[in-house]
Structure 1
């Protein structure tokens, strides 16, 4: 019996992925749960397993092809492994189908440097790169496609400017085709801006209270929980308390309905992995203590770096927080993470002169930004919500006491 293998669900609002690497070829015998191929999205790499044991009859799609969720990408004839002679016959019969693959791509696979997948090998060769000079983040030091793309997006030092006598700007330009990943990210960001009535409101917060708590209890916190007390746990807990008071900020639009969420799954933007910035989700953040939130974030950051996030860890978010301050940003307007209706932006903490009780004092200040969908959240709600978060951050004991 022939069994079709379909592109699985790839996460919220993700309708397609890209073929990153085939793990099998036509005529191969696979066991149930053997990996057939890797699919890439703008968020994650997904390994697609075989649902049955059998022989691969056909494969649909080439490396870098876009495939829709639910599309058939392989057909497997269920059954036991054929005898050795039967395997040879099967491969010979499959030759015409395999010939449909471009000769250049076959050559890429055949000539791929040791340890590199065909997709990675092709990128390396097309861009004349030295694999040994690219930072590898895969298991056992394996070079991933995302590593090569990240390397290509970095400004390369040591480039000599062209001679002035050439007289043309074209000689001083370099054109690099956007990766599938970058194209998808670009499209989704534009869609977010075009679909929602997005506005941003700003507030500032005095961080001296949180800094005092961290300084006073950091050592004891580490001894008790084995992890440092950072800033993000305060923001997550403050966001949860504010979301409880302003349910529209935790809601989303579905057609002509507003869906109010009575749970608080907080997405935290994390960078540094081969996929760039991703937003894994802290599930049921309202039920976690400070140490649990910090551990959750540490675990997610490790998975981002190792490119080992699961789909479940990227789904179900109701509100997101992004921290441009770790890169030195003073102020920004974060873009919504659909289908969520709001996102909170943290920024750099800078000591500035401020007026307190009629006197000018120096305080560690942070600008906060809330981007929101004006279709569902009124300006008054957005401003009051952000002001509430600032109040909680400036008086962190109120977070603990839920006041």
Structure 2
């Protein structure tokens, strides 16, 4: 008996999605809870799984099609596989189509991996069977794919001839998530009176504190003591003192939030995402560090949910992880401010009439001048500096 497979129920903030990838085709057998399809929305990629053991009877929505919340995307036949090839095929047929068998096996191997790994394998053109997996249960990680790519290629029998002066171009469609990120960033620059103020902070006290307590902290809490938790806690306290920085603009109204939900910008394979730490005023350092770590793992594996990124009253972005010394972060609307962290760089500084070499970090606060005055913005950033 055929049943319907439907798209997930999207939250109110998501109007529709796009079929990104079908991992199974009509006639293919699937197991219960096996991923059969990826749906890309403006915020996250959602996985659709098989409701039971059975067969994909028909695909209603093809790759690239737009789907609405709870819309039918495929027909599913529960139970024994119908119309599938017998398990023991004649020897002659096995020899006749070795390439097809290898291709099917490779496709199954790729589909069994995490979304980020599937993407890396597809873009590199490397068969999953050629990569030695070092992850749990022998699964392939992105690092395994990168290591395989870095290996010197075996010498070919006859080198390919490339025309002199040939310039290769590759055109690929922009993903839905990347397109949405582009629209939001462009809107932020066009629809807000965005301005950036800068300051710098001596990171030596925090670095010394971290060096002194990091081992005991990790042993007690099971989390590494990083720099981000210091900035999240400092920003939370500064937001209490400057409520306008924690507010948002809704039409002609100003919405002052009585809670502190801080988004942490994370770079993923599909684009920039901003998962949100909820009620940071109630979180301790270990909870902040564990939350950020979990978000990083979810972003890497394509497992971030819409609920992870909904809302947020303030955002922190750390370009320093990529080596950025100074930047002007763009607002994450409808929020009215965003804090930019940067690389820690040793610089000669004048301290009480003496020159000292200190580990310094530039801080940047971009803010919406329609709501936040320069005095408040500078005071907010100075407060963070002093708290650190």
Q: CA deviation at 1:329?
A: 0.8
8 Å CA contact 2:54, 2:80 repeated in 1? no
Q: CA deviation at 1:367?
A: 0.2
Alignment of 1:1-400 (within 5 A): 5=6, 8-9=9-10, 12=13, 14-22=14-22, 37-41=37-41, 43-48=43-48, 59-63=59-63, 65=64, 67=66, 69-70=68-69, 72-74=71-73, 113-117=107-111, 129-132=125-128, 166=164, 171-180=166-175, 181-271=177-267, 273-393=268-388
List per-residue Cα deviations over 1:351-371 (Å, max 9, x = no partner).
Answer: 111222233222211000112
Please state how far the C-alpha of 1:142 moved relative to its aligned partner. Answer: 6.4
Change (3 A) 1:239 1:52: same
Q: Distance in 1 between matches of 2:259 and 2:218?
A: 29
CA 1:373–1:82: 2 relative to 1, 3 Å: same
The residue that corresponds to 1:94 in the other structure is none
Contact 2:59 2:75 in 1 (8 A): no
Superposition RMSD in Å = 4.6
- Change in Cα spacing, 1:247 to 1:76, as seen in structure 2 (3 Å) is farther
Name whichever of 181-190 and 331-340 sits farther off.
181-190
Judging changes above 3 Å, is the alpha-carbon distance between structure 1 residues 241 and 115 closer, same or farther for their aligned structure 2 residues? same
Name the TM-score, length of structure 1 as normaliser.
0.71
Corresponding residue for residue 88 of structure 2: none
Return the offset for 1:205.
0.8
Q: Which runs of 5+ in 1 are unaligned?
A: 89-108, 394-403
Can you give the 5+ residue segments of structure 2 that lack an aligned partner in the other structure? 84-102, 154-158
Shift in CA distance, 352/312, structure 1 to aligned 2, threshold 3 Å: same
Using a 3 Å threshold, how does the CA distance of structure 1 residues 15 and 338 change in structure 2: closer, same or farther? farther
* Cα separation, 2, equivalents of 1:135 and 1:178: 31
SS for the counterpart of 1:176 is coil
Stretch of structure 1 that moved more, 274-283 or 368-377 = 274-283
Distance change (3 Å), C-alpha of 1:220 and 1:323: same
